[in-house]
Structure 1
């Protein structure tokens, strides 16, 4: 006989308290349930049930076996559900956390096409500029830029961006242009307040050496577009990703502060909770993003 069926018959008898109710639960005859349990006991060489005319109860060995058997049956049920889920059309509410700047510039414009392709999915995209806890705050996934902190989250790289220091021509005309990294200490710096390392810029020198610039800064704000606007207004030098400053740079509203420095490349990742499989709605959106960014010139 099938081992899993024997196990299921035994566990159902324990759950239901007898063969008759177990047979009704499984949709088979009482004699079939009895045969399955007897076959299991014979194979194991142990009595698992105490049988009387009035009641059926597990033996000490039977109770210990029941605990393990129920886990196996639950896992088998989850495995079946997984296959069904993987084959079904992606559906349900997809809750995404993304930084405002990236969400506005790169996710909002493509959501319409994604939802047209997957009409059973609904999206709740939360634009914020803080580090969210995916699981405790109920998010299915997030988009993160830069070096990922050590985490139990799973991740998939979508594309890359670059980061440069920029300021307005009016600012450089008034305060001069820094010629090297050390000169930044004499300038007005514009900081992003949600950096985990505070007001510290990590910069690669022409030699390849990693340098850190620490400054209280003239302005600190938690929004990249606001930093760009401040730089354009001549308030100081900002350190921004290229998807934010590229258009302003092309229009001549800003200039690179130290053009000879190597470009800082930042990975852009989809991160999502760990698990033995990825929900179809999450997998479909990540696949869609990978395909979308693969068709663009990188870095963005």
Structure 2
């Protein structure tokens, strides 16, 4: 007899507390269930069930075997479901975490196209500027910028963004333009309060040396768009990604503070929980993002 069927019959008898209810649950006759269990006991050379006229209960060995058998049966069921889902169209609720700046400026504008392509998917996009725990907080995926801190997650690179220090022409007219990194100590800097390193800018000097600029900011805020607005209005120098400042730079609203410095780049990634199987809805959205942002970055935004 089929080993998995024997295992299923035995587990069902334990779950239902008897052969009659197990037979009804499996849609087969009571005698068939009994034959499956007897065949299993014979093959294992052990009695798995205590049978009386009133009740059926697992023996000590039977209880230990049941725990393992139930895991095998659950895995088999999940394997069947996996194959079915991989062949089905992407569907269901897709919960995404993304930084506010990127979500508002670049993800929101393309969501309509994605939802039109996949009408069976609904999206719950959560905009925040904190690091979220994907699994414990119930997210299917997140979009993260910069170094990936959690190596246990799977990641796919979408594109890149460059990082530059920018300020308005009016600021440079009033306070002068820094010529080198050390000159920043004499300027009014605009800081991002949610940065993991605090009020520290990591900058590469023309020599290739990695430098850290640590000065008190004239303004500190937890939103990149607000920092860009402050820079445009002449309040100081901001260190921002190109996906925020590119349009303002093209319009002449801001200028590069120290143009001779090497360009800093950061990756933009889709991250999702580990495992060999990627849910169709997640795979579909990541493929869509790769296509949508394929012509972007690091400075072309």
Provide the TM-score with structure 2 as the length reference: 0.94
Structure 2 match to 1:56: 56
- Unpaired runs of 5+ residues, structure 2, are none
1:21 to 2:16 alignment: no
Secondary structure of the corresponding residue to residue 246 of structure 1: helix
1:30 counterpart residue number: 30
Q: For the residues of structure 2 that align with 1:274 and 1:140, how far apart are their CA atoms? A: 11
User: Residue in 2 aligned with 1:81?
Assistant: 81
Determine the C-alpha separation between the residues in 2 that align with 1:86 and 1:175. 60
Greater CA drift, 127-136 or 66-75: 127-136
Aligned ranges 1:108-123 → 2 under 5 Å: 108-123=108-123
SS in 1 for 2:82: helix
The equivalent of 1:198 in structure 2 is 198
Q: CA RMSD in A?
A: 1.6
Matches of 2:21 and 2:124, distance apart in 1: 45
Shift of 1:75: 1.2
1:268 corresponds to: 268
CA contact (8 A) 2:97 2:128 kept: yes
For this pair of structures, how many residues does the alignment match?
Answer: 299
User: 1:40 and 1:102, CA in 2 relative to 1: closer, same or farther beyond 3 A?
Assistant: same
Give the deviation of 1:56 after TM superposition: 2.2
Partner of 1:179: 179
Write out aligned runs for 1:240-251 (5 A).
240-251=240-251
- Which residue does 1:139 correspond to in 2? 139
Q: 3-state SS of the aligned residue for 2:281?
A: helix
The alpha-carbon deviation at position 163 of structure 1 amounts to: 0.6
2:104 matches 1:104: yes
Unaligned runs of 5+ in 1: none
Q: Out of 205-214 and 273-282, give the one that drifted further.
A: 273-282
The CA deviation at 1:298 is 3.2
CA distance in 1, matches of 2:220, 2:98: 20
Deviations 1:60-115 (A, max 9, x none): 11111111111111111111112222222222222222222211221111111100
Specify the alignment match of 1:213 in structure 2.
213
What is the match of residue 156 of structure 1? Answer: 156
